Amino acid sequence: MSRLISRRAVTAGLVTGAGALLTGCDAVGRNETAKALLFQGEDFHRTLQRRLQGRDALAPEYRPDQMSPRFRTNGATNPGTDEYRALAADGFRDWRLQVRGLVRRPLSVSLAQLRALPQRAQITRHDCVEGWSAIGKWQGPRLSHLLDLAGLREDANYIVFHCADRHGSTAYYESIDLIDAFHPQTILAWAMNDRLLSIGHGAPVRLRVERQLGYKQAKYVMGIEAVASLSNIGRGKGGFWEDVADYDWYAGI
Ligand SMILES: Nc1nc2c(c(=O)[nH]1)N[C@H]1C(S)=C(S)[C@@H](COP(=O)(O)O)O[C@H]1N2
Ligand SMILES: [Mo]
């Protein structure tokens, strides 16, 4: 709404300031107003659709023949630290996923143990805010299974994912609420397109939280932490991009 008002104000300014351009400016004004109304309409329908569907609705799943022939990488494509290099050199045999925070039984889980849990595979569309999408197949245990094993405490409200890649002095991290954490399509993927997850796409394990945008899909997950509040994690906004560029914490699609 503020955008619509400010555009109108700008147009009004032009109209009073330059009478000769009145017709042209008025046309621009109408056009901008129509555009703003259209965008509002889009938001309205999206909001309505989300309300009707509910947060537990499934993201669309696709057929194998709809998978993208190329799925690009984005953001970090290799954490490149000594620790990560050593883990990768050994096929992540020594990697352990730490599950800690507000849980009754902190866990340290190997890749073999993750693969031995009941698995879910899903072909979904990844949407990056930068304006590209790709359809790929992801496989791994449901996050909820792991959280049940660890036993979430009553005071846990969010699940934080700590990643291996650093950007300057801060590590990439992301977080989701318990609705998404227990959503059936929220998995810890160790396989992509029927192969072991590559380093570029987040080996050994990345989050897939299919109702949200690309930056929520944390790669290189090293630790999972259950917390009551996000305010003491990073700079407090719930994720790397949320902290540094004010991205929305809830990036629903
Ligand atoms: N650890 C980590 N996870 C990350 C990123 C990153 O830089 N580091 N980039 C995010 C962004 S913006 C996108 S679009 C996807 C890209 O995933 P892909 O490389 O598998 O395409 O990962 C997300 N998860
Ligand atoms: Mo992205």
Residue 74, ligand 1, Cβ within 6 A: yes
Q: What is the pTM of this model?
A: 0.83
Residue ranges of the chain with pLDDT lower than 50?
A: 1-30, 34-35
- Ligand 1, atom 24, residue with closest C-alpha: 218
pLDDT of residue 83: 97
238: exposed, middle or buried (Cβ count in 10 Å: 0-12, 13-18, 19+): buried
Q: Is the dihedral of CA 194, 197, 202, 206 positive or negative?
A: positive
Rounded distance from Cα 10 to ligand 2 centre (Å) = 33
Q: Which two tokens stand for residue 156?
A: 């846990």
Rounded distance from Cα 72 to ligand 2 centre (Å) = 11
Residue 220, ligand 1, Cβ within 6 A: yes
Q: What pLDDT digit, counting tens, does each position of 128-177 carry?
A: 999 999 999 999 999 999 999 999 999 999 999 999 999 998 999 999 99
Left (φ > 0), alpha (ψ -120 to 50) or beta: where does 15 sit? Answer: alpha
Domains recognised in the chain with CATH numbers? 2-53 (no CATH), 64-245 (3.90.420.10)
